[in-house]
Structure 1
Amino acid sequence: MKKFLQLMLTAMLAVLLLAACGSDSKKEETPADEKQAGEETNTEQQSTDTTSYPYTLTDAAGKELTFEQAPETVISLVPSNTEILFGIDAGDQVIAVTENDDYPKEVTELDTVGDFTVNVEKVISLEPEAVFAHEMMMSSSEEGLNQIRDAGIPVIVVPNAETFDETYETIELIGAVMDKNVEANQIVEDMKTKVADIEKKAADITDKKRVFVENSDAPEIYTPGKGTFPQQFLDMINAENIVTEEGWIMISPEKIVDENPDVILAMYSYVPNVVENIKTRDGFDAVTAIKEDQVIQLDEDITSRTGPRLADGLELFAKAVYPEVFGE
């Protein structure tokens, strides 16, 4: 039961995070001039191998923070931040995460400070030198984040990444705070190389496949449209999304059948037998993806967390849609 709930919560987090990619709330919460100021503050630091302290940044909440040295103990409040911290070899400084964190394996042995609801008292009691929060927490957890700030603990609100380029900037930002610039730059370069290789292969595809992506099971089937990372993935691999609406929408099974996708991708695991459930839906036996056995379940964490594995998520999409081009 606990595993079921964890998977369901993970799927819900993916929906919330990716939905933010297609909305205007980010622009409302983070004025363009504040975001630009933060980027300008960090440009010089990210171009060097080591961070020059004192190091000042402006985060996604518009807060200016100054660090006299790299934090020796930090807490991460979202899985994507955690993956970045471990990816840049700062995992030893992470003393606590949330119950939603599951990668890399070492994080499961760390102390936890809640799930979608942060245990503010516990965060404060652990006395970290910094807390890495996320812009998607602003509307629901602002009071708690302020309590942490009032306790004298710096809170770095990492901005929502809506593109690969913004994901790279996030990795470089966290790398600069932690004085792990070389490691962060290497991750970004590796991601860029993988993305470029995938796009190069995809450029030769002339017969585009029509794809349906779903992020939740019937009866409330949610699917990504324009302005979401799955849409970007499909664009980058030269595939066509059957959904043309903006953001995340709920779609009926009848509409899916009418659109007759060549491939169906399921980005969730909170229910068992996902692929078989889709195949046996009423009327789906007439869908090309069912007839040709092209229903594929993808890891929702790899394909939704805006961190070092995001390029791997693109690769999962590519191999699932075009195995003849991207298969091993």
Structure 2
Amino acid sequence: MKRLRKWFIPALVILYLTGCSGTSQVTTPQPETNQGTQQAAESAGETERKTVYPLTITDATGNEITFEKAPERIVSTSPAETEILFALGLGENVVGVSDYDDYPAEALAKPKVGGVTSPNEEAILEQSPDLVIGGISMERPVAQKLQSLGLPVYITHPSSLDEIMQNILTVGIITDRQQQAEDVVAQMKADIKRVSDALQDIQADDQKKVYIEFAPGWTVGKGEYMDELIALAKGINIAGDTEGWNQISEEKVLLEDPDVILYADGVTDMTTGKSLDEIILNRSGWDKITAIQQSQVFGLDQNILSRPGPRITQGLIEVAKAVYPDRVK
């Protein structure tokens, strides 16, 4: 399998992950904040935690941003980050989104600032934002150009559920929505516990082999949150011996003979127009795979599966239901 790290994912694959959204394999640093914010975050005497400004944050690229106050005009160039902002109750503060942002429904009415890899700089500037937030989909030169224009650009690259939840908490600190962020993360942790409790007695020898295809010809190995979803759902990722996003080897999938095949529902090949399930079911020799013979091929909501935001643990529940339908209701 050919593997690719974050900054080298082809644009076509990024579109699948960002029309869905996009993350990959650069470790997200724990955000560095100023002492005042930390003291505020740790204060047990307040019913609702408040951020102390000025606030300095270091994003996943190592870029340091200082906020003098809570951002009031926010542009999001990533569907996942848009979902985070709305989940924190910041919908009215969102003044621009990417062309792919479709959740929640209110995001559809927001001004569009272009694509996810190279958003329109002029469209962003027209909104006079005091925060531009994006994920792996934003190309580095674009981020650097926006930074050179004096815009505070915060880039995220979460590769695990812990990093996704930490990212939500960090956005909560930046925007002075700490309590809302903690409430969102608490629900996500409850989702994880629900799956863990339901599957806790499954032994290693009884775990099912799982193959996941999120875009035509592409799967995922260790070091990414999709692989973690499979592991938390007590599945064995047949691509788990690789790292990052990988072009599949059809022969390897045949050899591994997965018990369950998962795919991103609604995805179509941009060249042939064929749906992803049609592609999977009609590959040469794949009719011999156990998952196909036993009708254990399941499409999962592409956005929930691919967006590293508040709904990713709903994706975990859906993965667990597909792998062990008798245990996770």
Q: Contact 1:61/1:135 (CA < 8 Å) preserved in 2? A: no
* Structure 1 letter corresponding to 2:310: P
Q: Report the secondary structure of 2:301's partner residue.
A: coil
Question: How far apart are residue 255 of structure 1 and its match?
Answer: 2.7
Shift of the 45–102 alpha-carbon distance from structure 1 to 2, 3 Å rule, reads farther
- Name the structure 1 match of 2:118: 117
Alignment match, 1:4? none
Change (3 A) 1:185 1:274: same
Q: Which amino acid aligns with 1:118?
A: P
SS class of match (1:308): coil
Q: CA deviation at 1:202?
A: 1.6
Equivalent residue number for residue 22 of structure 2: 17
CA distance change for structure 1 residues 152 and 227 in 2, over 3 Å: closer, same or farther? closer
Q: Using the alignment, how far apart are the partners of 2:38 and 2:256 within structure 1?
A: 46
Residue 103 of structure 1: how far off its partner (Å): 1.0
Q: How many residues are treated as equivalent by the alignment?
A: 303
Output the amino acid matched with 2:52.
S
SS in 1 for 2:304: coil
TM-fit CA distance, 1:323:
0.7
- 2:104 equivalent to 1:104: yes
What is the CA distance between 1:291 and its match in structure 2? 1.5
Q: 216, 238, 244: which one pairs with 1:242?
A: 238
Q: Could you say if the C-alpha distance between residues 303 and 46 of structure 1 is closer, same or farther in structure 2, counting changes exceeding 3 Å?
A: farther
1:306 aligns with 2:308: yes
CA distance in 2, matches of 1:86, 1:120: 23
Q: Which residue of 1 aligns with 2:133?
A: 132
Residue aligned with 2:168, SS: helix
Matches of 1:10 and 1:36, distance apart in 2: 27
CA contact (8 A) 1:266 1:274 kept: yes
Aligned residue runs from structure 1 range 56-67, under 5 A: 56-67=56-67
Note closer, same or farther for the CA distance 1:166–1:43 as it changes in structure 2 (3 Å cut). Answer: farther
Matched, 1:325 2:324: no
The code of the aligned residue for 2:327 comes to: V
| Inter-CA distance 297–135: structure 2 relative to 1 (3 Å threshold) | closer
Aligned-partner Cα distance in 1 for 2:152–2:278? 47
- Cα offset for 1:284? 2.2
* CA positional deviation for 1:17: 3.5
Q: How does 1:28-67 map to 2 (within 5 A)?
A: 35=29, 38=32, 43-47=38-42, 49-67=49-67
Gap change, CA 1:289 and 1:39, over 3 Å in 2: farther
Instruction: Flag the 1:214–1:277 CA change in 2: closer, same or farther, 3 A.
Output: same
Whole-angstrom distance in 1 between the partners of 2:100 and 2:202: 38
* Deviation string, structure 1 residues 231-268 (Cα, Å, up to 9, x no partner): 21121121112222222222233332222211111125
Unpaired runs of at least 5, structure 1 = 1-6
**Amino acid aligned to 1:311:** T
Deviations 1:151-198 (A, max 9, x none): 3322222x3112222111111111111111111010011111110121
Q: 1:314 is aligned with what amino acid?
A: L
- 8 A contact 2:264–2:276 mirrored in 1: no
Q: Is the 8 A contact 1:136 1:160 kept in 2?
A: no
Q: Distance in 2 between matches of 1:37 and 1:122?
A: 28
Q: Let me know the Cα RMSD of the aligned residues.
A: 2.5
For residue 282 of structure 1, what is the aligned residue in structure 2? 284
The answer as to 2:143 corresponding to 1:145 is: yes
Q: Taking structure 1 as reference, are residues 231 and 14 closer, same or farther at Cα in structure 2, changes over 3 Å only?
A: farther
What is the aligned counterpart of 2:294 among 284, 292, 295? 292
Q: 1:224 matched to which residue of 2?
A: 220
Q: In structure 2, the residue corresponding to 1:301 is in which secondary structure?
A: helix
**Which of these residues, 174, 179, 182, is aligned with residue 182 of structure 1?**
179
Give the match's secondary structure for 1:101: coil
Q: 1:61-93: CA deviations, max 9, x gaps?
A: 333332232111110111111110000001110
Structure 1 residue matching 2:144: 3-state secondary structure: helix
Shift of 1:37: 6.5
Change (3 A) 1:156 1:46: farther
CA shift at 1:124, angstroms? Answer: 1.1
1:210 alignment partner in structure 2: 209
TM-score by length of structure 1 reads 0.84
Instruction: Percent identity, please.
Output: 34
The match for 1:92 is 92
Structure 1 residues 70-79 or 275-284, which shifts more?
Answer: 275-284
> In the superposition, relative to structure 1, how do residues 133 and 205 fare at CA in structure 2: closer, same or farther (>3 Å)?
same
